[in-house]
A and B are shown apart, each in its own frame.
Chain A
Amino acid sequence: MQEEKFEDKEKFEIVQKFSGWKEILKPTTEMKKGYYSYAASLKDQEYLNLPFPREWSPLDDDWKLPPNWKEILINKIDELRKKYRSLQVFMDICVRCGACADKCHYYIGTGDPKNMPVVRGELLRTVYRRYFTKTGKMFGEWAGARDLTEDVIREWYLYFFQCSECRRCSVFCPYGIDTAEITMLARELLNSIGISQRFTLTSAAACVRTGNHLGLSPGGVVNSIRYAVDDIKEITGIDVEVPVNKKGAEILFVTPSGDYFAQPHWFTFIGYIMVFHELGLDYTFSTYAAEGGNFGFFHSFEVAKKINQKIYKEAKRLGVKWILGGECGHMWRVKHQYMATYADETYEDALKVLEEPVNPVTGTVFENASSTKMVHILEFLADILKHKKLKIDKSRNDHLVVTHHDSCNIARGMGLFEEPRFVIKSVCNHYYDMPEHAIREKSYCCGSGAGLLADELFELRMRGGMPRAMAVKYVHEMYGVNHVTAACAIDRAAIPTLLKYWKLPVQMGGVTELVANAMVMKGEIERDTDLRGNPLGEYLEVEI
């Protein structure tokens, strides 16, 4: 008999398991379909020079760990706790008050106690106590400490790849303990003994080599842009020219590579190009720094740095004055909080050409980006729309009733809440926010961030995305919302699947798409379709 697929099940159960602390200390090692990630391929491990490259699978009895893996790992914990105050403090001060417990969308969707942020932290903390604290060494399990065994490694692999590093728990924690930080460092630990996840590593390796996560060659990027200008000509009748690798341009534009061809990213992608053309911006794409995102960030410090350095290097090579970044979530966590810090001399080098960003159209100085020199597209567009530099016909978006999904990273790692709302309200007549517990800093993850967009995690993603889907359902039923926007490429990939799974006839897209759709361009033909190629002003029902 064939096993029923999760996708086809009429309903699923959320079994809330409750146990006691002794149970929590025991490693859970069952690799359940839909919950565990595939192991990184040998090719990628070798390409990135990772430690102990080998073929292995989480289902194997023997993970072929290096003989002294335990020693390596304990030394690595010691190294990391000295390098990251976050780790040292977060290991020491959690009081297990439980404020974070039901804030994790994976916990809500799976009911598995090990998905509570407090317990996810304990997975590492129990080992930390055993080897680094007096009480843990003396009293063992009674002090909440446990030995490091291979089973613990299996458990780490399972659960630190069931965390999308969304930081929602960190908002509610009275000490700001950030499980994303613990997850990131735990993944770094796993990497030190040769354990990586396939999805993140494939993307990261591709990005190091080709300059983008999808592994497009420079010719592929150029082709995508060519399709885009063709599409724009078809929709608007306008010949748009897009500079690529142009030296001496004022602005370097960087966007997540999903935008180059995925759906519905594509409409946002042509949206950027239309807006830049209409504004007469002196900008350029780059094939070397074709990617804004950084999957290395989900893997380890070194891989993140390998990817990160490209943008400043390219800015210097092209001699641009500042950098504009497209709609992406984790990309903006990295750009905002990490990029300039990761960069060493490449930053100082780039400063020889970079200047404080100034909007050439409005003259606005982006003082909030004076050091990093990188501006978010929605900050830029909010400024443009505030100064009414685009001719907007809002009625072109009248068929849409819009709500906005705050992507985790730009919400809790940047604080970008009002810009998207201002932009959407400037180009749409119908906008409704989702309930307060599901937006802004309390926003729920799409369920697929931080390398969890992998197909093999389908069940986990659909369960984890449930709170988001239910918030959409609420506004769909209440206000007839039929369009969700999100300024994140992972969201744009994950949410359509999620909404379809939860049987919500709601479409999904980026914010810039709506701007370009409402924008009346100079010299355009009478438009009869929107950016999606649908008859203008008509909403095509989403199949569910």
Chain B
Amino acid sequence: MSVLGTLVGVVIPYAAAIIFVVGVLYRVFTWSKSVVPFKITTTCGQQKSLPWLNRTFMDRFDSPSTNWETAVRMLMEVFLFRSLWKNVRYELPAQTAVSTKWLWLFALTFHWSLLIVLIRHFRFFLQPVPEFVNFIQSLDGFIEVHIGWFQPHVVHIMITGLTLLVALLYLLYRRLAFPRERTFSLPSDYLALVLLLGVAITGLLMRYVIPVDVAQVKELAQGLLSFHPPASPELHWLFMLHLLFVSALLAYFPFSKLMHSAGILFSPTRNMPNDNRVVRHINPWNYPVKGVDWDEFYEEFKEDMEELEKMGYVVKPEEV
């Protein structure tokens, strides 16, 4: 067992973490090396022009004119999924579009749940456990239940663990069941969901159904973090499965669409202000292109131009 423990508990997680860190940095480096030739903000609200024009509170962020407004726009995209919130569904044959928020709801639920679950996991890695982790944990687990039939003690139901699962199942369901989504979903889209589901399900099983020795998990986690992993750890099979899913997800991350989490920060239609006519954007690779200049133009249309000169450069109505 112990060789397996070293492999699954130490070697694979380290390898996955290295791939993750190097891969993500490489991708981010590739993006930042590529340049931004134009300021192509997508404007989703009234521009800042004449000061008295009606401009709503949200217009300032949907069509930001300053850097801080742009920052707020980005924060709203990242933390509230502002653009998804606007989602509508076109209905044939009624020929109208109605607001639809399901994708927004489940996507937001999934991402926030994942974030909180991740923060909760800090308690395995950090000793002493930071106060904010305990705080989030107590908020998350405010529902206490006594379920005697599968665990003979009081259980704190961690809401985010369950919402994570539900949201993931919905995201998988829509790809399988909705014809449009099924049409463009690639195998990699399912792979990401399956890996995440694997992580979530094994985690939930450990919490509610098949308890594992938490002390042992902590020892491994803290050992990994301090680069002094325990030698030949004895690990529970379910925990090993959990670790494998996590490692696979981490290693897959930089090669996949999961990079959207960093990519959104680089999106040129969102991260620049709509101040194009105030601040000139410089294209770093701009090069001159020869067009037709005035002299060539004059030569080609000399007769017309001389006629215009005779008119004194003014067009008047015909004398009747």
For A88, A176, A232, which residue has the most chain B Cβ atoms within 10 angstroms?
A176
Cα–Cα, bound, A182→B41 (Å): 15
Q: Check B316 against A211 for contact (C-beta < 8 Å).
A: no
A95 pairs with B189, CB closer than 8 A: yes
CB <8 Å contact, A18 and B182: yes
Q: Contacting A368 at CB < 8 Å: which of B47, B90, B292?
A: B47
Question: Given the known A-B contacts A306-B289, A437-B96, are A85 and B316 also in contact in the complex, defined by CB atoms under 8 Å?
Answer: no
Given the complex of chains A and B, what is the CA–CA distance between A438 and B318 in angstroms? 45
Among A305-319, those with CB < 8 Å from B are: 305-307, 309-310, 313-314, 317
Question: Are A288 and B294 interface neighbours, CB within 8 A?
Answer: yes
Query: Residue A245 at the B interface, CB < 8 A?
Result: yes
Assembly CA distance A171 to B313 (angstroms): 45
Return B110 CB to nearest CB of chain A, in Å.
11
User: A386 an interface residue at 8 Å Cβ cutoff?
Assistant: yes
Give A79-122 as 1s and 0s: 1 = Cβ < 8 Å from B's Cβ atoms. Answer: 00111111111101111111101110000100001001011001
Q: Do B276 and A372 touch (CB < 8 A)?
A: yes
How many whole Å from B161's CB to the nearest CB in chain A? 23
Q: Which residues of B lie under 8 Å from residue A353 when comparing CB positions?
A: none
B183 sits at the interface (CB 8 A): yes
Q: Is residue B107 within 8 Å, beta carbon to beta carbon, of the partner chain?
A: yes
Q: Are A337 and B50 in contact (CB under 8 A)?
A: no
Interface residue from B268, B288, B311, B316 paired with A229 (Cβ < 8 Å): B316
Question: Which of the residues B33, B277, B288, B289 comes within 8 Å of A336, measured between beta carbons?
Answer: B277
Q: Is A26 an interface residue (CB 8 A)?
A: no
Asked if B264 and A93 sit within 8 Å, CB to CB, the answer is yes
- Say yes or no: B87 contacts A176, CB within 8 Å: no
Enumerate chain B residues within 8 angstroms of A229, measured Cβ to Cβ: 315-317
Selected contact of A174 from candidates B30, B50, B88, B264, CB within 8 Å: B264
Smallest CB separation, B51 vs chain A (Å): 9
A21-B185 CB under 8 A given contacts A208-B292, A342-B286, A412-B43: yes
Q: Is B150's CB within 8 Å of the partner chain A?
A: no
Could you say which of A64-72, A397-405, A416-424, A518-526 contacts chain B?
A416-424
Report the minimal beta-carbon distance from A443 to chain B, rounded to whole angstroms: 11
Stretch of B6-14, B76-84, B196-204 that contacts chain A: B76-84
Asked if A368 contacts B279 (CB within 8 A), the reply is no
Closest A residue by C-beta to B95? A470
CB distance from A224 to the nearest CB of B (A): 9
A526–B166 CA distance with the chains assembled, in angstroms? 72
Report whether B291 and A307 are in contact in the complex, using a CB–CB cutoff of 8 Å: yes
* Cα-based distance from A413 to B40 in the complex (angstroms): 7
- What A residues does B98 contact at CB under 8 A? 437
B86/A386 in contact, CB under 8 A: no
CA distance A340 to B40 in the complex (A): 13
Pick from A24, A92, A340: contact of B263, CB under 8 Å: A92
In the bound complex, do residue A306 and residue B89 qualify as a contact, i.e. CB atoms below 8 Å apart?
no
Chain B residue numbers with a CB within 8 Å of A232 are 317
Closest to A379 in B: B49
* A interface bracket (residues with beta carbon within 8 Å of B): 35 or more
Question: With the chains together, A133 CA to B256 CA distance in Å?
Answer: 10
CB neighbours (8 Å) of B314 from chain A are 241-244, 246
In the complex, what residues of A have CB within 8 A of residue B218's CB? Answer: none
Write the nearest CB–CB distance from A39 to chain B, whole angstroms.
23
B305 at interface, CB cutoff 8 A: yes
| Min C-beta distance of A297 to chain B, whole Å | 11
B63 touches A (CB below 8 Å) = yes
Given known A-B contacts A82-B33, A226-B315, A441 and B44 have beta carbons under 8 A apart? yes
Picked from B50, B189, B260, B277, the residue with its CB within 8 Å of the CB of A370 is: B277
Query: Contacts A229-B317, A368-B47: A314 and B264 contacting too (C-beta < 8 A)?
Result: no
Kindly identify which residue among A341, A374, A474 contacts B281, using a CB–CB cutoff of 8 Å: A341
Residue-wise, chain A 169-211 has the 8 Å CB interface mask toward B (1 for contact) of 0111111111001000000000000000000000000001111
Cβ contact within 8 Å between A245 and B313: yes
Give the B interface residue count (CB, 8 A). Answer: 105
A364 near B: Cβ within 8 Å?
yes
Which of B52-60, B133-141, B209-217 contacts the other chain?
A: B52-60
Pairwise interchain contact B263-A341, C-beta atoms closer than 8 A = no
Which residue on chain A has the smallest CB distance to residue B319? A239
Stretch of A215-223, A260-268, A535-543 contacting B (4+ beta carbons < 8 Å): A215-223
- B306 CB, nearest partner CB in chain A, Å: 10
Are A313 and B186 in contact, CB atoms less than 8 angstroms apart? no
- Kindly list chain A residues whose C-beta atoms are within 8 Å of the C-beta of B77: 174-176
Task: Give the docked Cα–Cα distance between A96 and B178 (Å).
Answer: 13
Task: Contact check, B183 vs A18: say whether CB atoms are below 8 A apart.
Answer: yes
The reply to whether A97 and B103 contact each other, CB–CB distance below 8 Å, is yes
Binds A, one of B117-125, B231-239, B242-250, B296-304: B296-304
A528 within 8 A of B: no
- B156 within 8 A of partner (CB): no
Residues of A within 8 A of B301 (CB): 210, 217-219, 287
B35 contacts chain A at the CB level, 8 A cutoff: yes
What's the nearest-Cβ distance from chain A to residue B26, in Å? Answer: 11
CB of A149 within 8 A of chain B?
no
Which residues of chain B are near A447, meaning CB under 8 Å?
A: none
A101 lies within 8 A of B180 (CB): yes
Which residues of B are in contact with A by a Cβ distance under 8 Å? 27, 30-31, 33-50, 52-55, 59, 62-63, 65, 77, 81, 83-84, 86-90, 92, 95-98, 103, 107, 174, 178-189, 255-257, 259-260, 263-264, 266-270, 274-283, 285-294, 297, 300-301, 303-305, 307-308, 311, 313-318
A-side residues, CB < 8 A to B, are 14, 16, 18-21, 23-24, 81-90, 92-99, 101-103, 108, 113, 116, 118-119, 122, 133-135, 142-144, 167, 170-178, 181, 208-211, 217-219, 222, 225-226, 229-230, 232-233, 239-247, 284, 287-288, 302, 305-307, 309-310, 313-314, 317, 336-338, 340-342, 344-345, 347, 364, 366-372, 374, 379, 382-383, 386, 411-419, 422, 435, 437-438, 440-442, 466-467, 470, 473-474
